[in-house]
Amino acid sequence: MDVLIDLENSPEIEIGAEGIAEIIQNVKIILTTPVGTVPLDRDFGVSWMFIDQPTPKAIAEAKVEIVEKVERYEPRVKVTEVSFITAPRDAEEGRLFPRVRIALKKI
């Protein structure tokens, strides 16, 4: 089963989710947590070191970081695609919104 996670149009995080909703929730938390902000696991989350890089370089670095961190911290999924939504206004302001497609692994 493939699931598309679109952070730009994603509903709020639902604490206490179960089943597939829990897995999706975990991926959203990983994607929205800046690395270094979780006291007992400073590597949890996504690094923002690519901010202020040229857009093509930022996209390449972000894709690698997203795949690595999601698959590390949510072992029940495999990232099958990472793309970015870049509306003209967002591109002018240097904003990127990730869209992550995940496949649930059989456990």
Q: Are 61 and 50 in contact (CB under 8 A)?
A: yes
Class of the CATH-defined domain 2-104: alpha beta
Query: DSSP secondary-structure letter at 5?
Result: E
Phi, then psi, of 19 in degrees rounded to 5: 65, -140
pLDDT above 80 for 88: no
Phi, then psi, of 60 in degrees rounded to 5: -60, -45
Q: What is the domain partition of the chain in residue ranges? A: 2-104
Nearest alpha-carbon partner for 47 in 55, 58, 94 = 58
Average pLDDT over residues 95-101: 86
Predicted pLDDT at 41: 95
Taking only the tens place, the pLDDT of each residue in 24-45 is 999 999 999 999 999 999 999 9
Q: Which residues contact 20 (CB under 8 A, 6 or more apart)?
A: 1, 3, 104
Percent of the chain residues past pLDDT 90, beyond the cut: 48
Confidence (pTM): 0.85
